Amino acid sequence: MSTTHPDYLFQSLPSHYFYQFMCHRFKVRFGKPEKGSITVDIKSMEQQLLFIASSIPYNSFFELVDALIVLINGYSQTIVRWNTEPIEYEFNLSRNNDEITLEVVRFPDSRRIQSQGEVVFRINDSYELIVLPFWRALRQMEFCDNFEEQWGRTWPKREMTLLNKLIKGFRRCTNEA
C-alpha cells in the first residue's frame, strides 16, 4: 500500500479546494435554542468541544459579540463565559498583532477558581480564521426563529449591527491588500 504525502495531495487539487480546506480549519456552530439552553460546538482539525449552555446567569451571546468587537478594535484580551450548570466554560480570547488565541477553560463550578480550571480547547491562528467563524455562527443565530423566546434573553441587536459593520470593513481592507 502506498502512502501519499499530504503536501502532494494539496498540490494535486485545484486551488479553490485548498482555500476551502484552509477556511474550515476552525468551525463554530450554535444549535437551536430550546427552553433556555443551546448547543455550542467548536472544532479545529485536531480537537472538538461540544457542550449545552444555559442562558443563566450569563448573557453569553452579548459577551461573545462584545468580545469580538473588542478584539477588532485592538484590545489584547477578553473573556466570554458559558454556564452548563454546574460546569462553567471560559473562552479566553487574546490578540497578539494579527494572531488570535482562543483558550477554553473548563471549571467545575461557578466559583471559577483558577487552580481548578482545565484547558480543554486551544487554537492559535490568524485573526481572520478565528474571528470570522464566530461571526458567521452569530449571523446564523441572528435569524433564528423565536430566539428570544427560546433562549430567554434578548438578542444583542445593536452590538451585532456594530460587529457586522466592523467585519465588513475588515473584509474590505483584506480584499484590497
> CA 70, 74, 77: angle at the middle one, nearest 5?
60
Count CA within 13 A, CB hemisphere, residue 114.
1
Q: What are 2's three cell numbers? A: 502506498
pLDDT of residue 112: 83
In order of 61, 99, 126, 157, the CA distances from 145 in angstroms are: 16, 34, 32, 15
pLDDT at 11: 38
Give the distance from CA 25 to its chain's centroid: 12
Name the pTM for this structure.
Answer: 0.83
Report how far apart, in Å, the C-alpha atoms of 149 and of each of 23, 34, 115, 134 are: 33, 9, 37, 22
**SS3 for 121?**
strand
Contacts of 135 (CB under 8 A, 6+ apart): 68, 163, 167
Give the pLDDT confidence score for residue 9 in this predicted structure. 35
- Quote the pLDDT of residue 173: 61
Close Cβ partners of 35 (under 8 Å, ≥ 6 residues apart)? 150
Residues of the chain with pLDDT under 70: 1-24, 171-177
